[in-house]
Every structure is written in C-alpha cells, then in structure tokens.
Amino acid sequence: MGTVVMSEIEVTVPAVGKRSYKIHIGSGTISKLWHRLETQYAQLQKFVVTDANLVAAGHLEKLLGEKDVPAFVIDPPGEVSKNIGTVVSIIETMEKAFLGRDSVIVALGGGTVGDIAGFAAAIFKRGVKVVHIPTTTVAQADSSVGGKTGVDSTVSKNAFGAFWHPAAVYIDVETLQTLDEREYRAGLVESVKHALIADGEYFNYLVENMSAVLNRDSQVLQEVAYKNCKIKAGVVAEDPTEMNKRRILNFGHTIGHAVESVSGFELLHGEAVAIGIVGAELIAQRLGLGSNERLDRIKAVLAELDVPLKTPSSLAKKNLIETMKCDKKAVGQRPKFVLLADIGAALCRDGQWAHDVSTEIVAETLDALY
C-alpha cells in the first residue's frame, strides 16, 4: 500500500486541571513529524525511547532522518523488558547525555514502549514532557491516550506506575503496515472493547468493515483510530485518575490480566483480554444480565481476529484466582468486574462501574473458560 498523507484529525482531551492535549491522526506522516516536534518544542532537549522492532522496521530512521538525537532502544522488545530496571537504564542514559528538566521524551512504539517511556518521563527530575507516537493497534487504540504509565513487578502487571498525561499524541496508521499479523489482530481486541462498552454503532461498523480492517486499509484504520480516541478521550475527561467510570476501560481485563500474567506473557495482551471479555459475558449471564445471543455476537467478532476464546489448559485456576487478588480494582483481595448492560453500554449500578462478583461465580466462570 502506498503512503498517502491525509488530513489530520484532532481530539482535545481535557486532562488534569485546565491542561489538555491533542491526538493527531493521519497516514504517512511520520517522516515529516520530527520537524514539527523540533518547532513545537524548540526550547526542549529531545530524547527518543523505542525498541529493537521499530529500529528493524525502519520507523526510527523515518522519524529522525539524518538527525543525531540521543535515544534508548529497548531490547529485547515486549513485556519481558517492562520492568523497573529498564526505567532506571533509560534515566541513567538521559543523565549521561546531560539531559535535564528541559527535556521531552518521544516514545516511538507500542504499548510497552509507551508505558515504560511515560513512567520514565513521570519520575525523571520529578517529571518531564512525553510525546507518544504509537505504532501498534493496541497503542493507537488505547494505551497512548489517557496518561496511564507503568511497569511490572515480579508479582503483577503495572505494579509501579503514575498518571502522566502526554504533551501530544501522533498516530500514523501507516506504521501498522509493518506490524506482525498476530500482534496486529490481538491489538484490535481493544477496539472491540471500546465499541462494547460505549458505542453500539461503532461495534456494527467493525462488524461491517472487518475485512478492510484486517486488510489494513488506511482510510478505515484512520476512522477506527478516530472512534477509539473519541471514546477513550470522553471517558478520561470524566474520570482522569480512574476513580470510577474510567474503570470501564478495563472491561475484560480482570480475567485478562490474570491470564496474561500466569501465561508468562506467552499470550499477547489482546489475546488475554479476548478471553477476559468472554469471561465477563459469562459472568453477566450468571447474574441475569446477558444472553447467549449477545455472547455469540461478541464471540463472532473476536473469532474473526483469530484470537483465543478459551483459557489454555496449562494455566491453573488457582493461579488465576491468586493473581486476580492483586488486580488494581480489587478491594480486600476481592476483584471487581466491569460488565455490559448491552452491546455499546457498560453497566452502571448504584453509581458504580466496577462490580463485586461472588467467588463462586468467578470460579464457575473460570471453569467454563477452559
């Protein structure tokens, strides 16, 4: 597919206080982006955080051209490097380059790069600016917007973290053309999640345009990115620090994070969340809130993405239960679950968007997922 420069779409996301930032969505824009960043942040020193996959795909070269900019390349890429040691290495590299508070970190990569770079920005010299250039389906749909940053401990995902909103987000859907097929499809689960919790029409759009999405049609991908960002921006504007409604963005994640962690991250994030979405729907059915017809519609869309809908038999139920006790939504080691009222609407009950579920129903659901 040839590179086509499209008009960019801007979505203003109210952050903390009066500050806001814009999400710029386009196609074929990455090669022109560095000039824009140099102009916009002329007084700031630039530092790039990326990973070995992005270097191999040529995206770092497209971004910088011949510019000599200090950078940190995460290697090996992925969740295995999402730990406090990587953050320390980034900060020490910045110090050795004599960077200070007058710096901006440019995060070029997927969700893991964004999480790591964002957390480094939040704690380096008590906070410097960060600009996200997400290059994966999961990052363009979800993780680059909203200000969540964090890295894993040896016990759970995102044990260390901070809310640190970016100065800007630049989405170039053409960067998805080099993404591995499995990772591409798994990341689209977050798009399905957004549709399920907030926009039934968007769910229908995904159903009707799934062939074009899977063929990586640039125009359709821009529309998908726009719809995802509008949904997430609206939720974040209401609840920037995840005190209540923002928890709906964790639909499918209570079971999903446990499956992902217990698998030793052999399952991709989106793959684990797909299992978690099915699990949440099974819980809803047990509570009289769902139906077989609704579950079948959801499973049909996920099946088109070729993601797993069952928990691997090698993952012990007791380990999943223990891991869910550490979930960030858990209260007194009792995990809470985001559920659907209908396709396109998360369930709100008594003003709460994350719900208690009995240990018996959770155990029954986990059994049904094997």
Mind spelling out the 3-state secondary structure of 154-210? CCCCCCEEEECCCCEEEEEHHHHHHCCHHHHHHHCHHHHHHHHHHCHHHHHHHHHHH
Predicted pLDDT at 243? 83
Q: Which residue has the higher pLDDT, 152 or 241?
A: 152
Q: Where are the domains of the chain?
A: 9-180, 242-368
Say whether pLDDT at 260 is over 60.
Answer: yes
Q: How confident is the model at residue 1 (pLDDT cuts 50, 70, 90)?
A: very low
pLDDT bucket at 315, cuts 50 / 70 / 90: very high
The b-or-e profile of 209-222 (16+ CB within 10 A means b, else e) is bbeebbebbbebbb
Looking at every residue in the chain, the average pLDDT score rounds to: 93
Rg (CA), the chain: 20
Which of the two residues, 232 and 211, has the higher pLDDT score?
211
Cross-strand pairs, 20: 14
Query: Each residue of 59-85: pLDDT tens digit?
Result: 999 999 999 999 999 999 999 999 999
Does the pLDDT value for residue 7 go beyond 80?
Answer: no
| Enzyme catalytic residues | 126, 148, 190, 232, 242, 246, 250, 253, 257, 269
Tokens (6 digits) for 183: 């990772």
pLDDT confidence of 5, banded at 50, 70, 90?
very low
pLDDT: which is higher, 240 or 356: 356
Place of tokens 């798009």: 191
> pLDDT above 70 covers what percent of the chain?
94
**pLDDT for the residue 177:** 96
User: What whole-number distance in Å separates Cα of residue 114 and Cα of residue 216?
Assistant: 22
Q: Is the pLDDT score of 336 beyond 70?
A: yes
Asked whether the CA dihedral 201, 204, 209, 211 is positive or negative, the reply is positive
pLDDT at 13: 64
β-bridge pairing 129-134 and 103-109? parallel
> Which CATH fold would you assign to the domain 9-180?
Rossmann fold (3.40.50)
- Report the topology of domain 242-368: Dehydroquinate synthase-like, alpha domain (1.20.1090)
> Over pLDDT 90: what percentage of the chain?
83
Residue 245 clears pLDDT 90, i.e. is over it: yes
Strand-strand pairing, 71-74 and 45-51: parallel
Tokens, residue 9: 């779409």
Cα–Cα distance between 278 and 295 in angstroms, integer? 7
Q: Where are the beta strands (DSSP E) in the chain?
A: 9-14, 20-26, 45-51, 71-74, 103-109, 129-134, 148-151, 160-163, 168-172, 336-337, 340-342, 345-346, 355-356
Average pLDDT over residues 160-165: 93
| DSSP-based three-state secondary structure for 254 | helix
pLDDT at position 16 over 70: no
pLDDT greater than 70 at residue 10: no
Where is pLDDT greater, at 52 or 156? 52
Residue tagged 């986990």 (tokens):
366
pLDDT (average), residues 293-297: 98
What pLDDT shows up at residue 142? 85
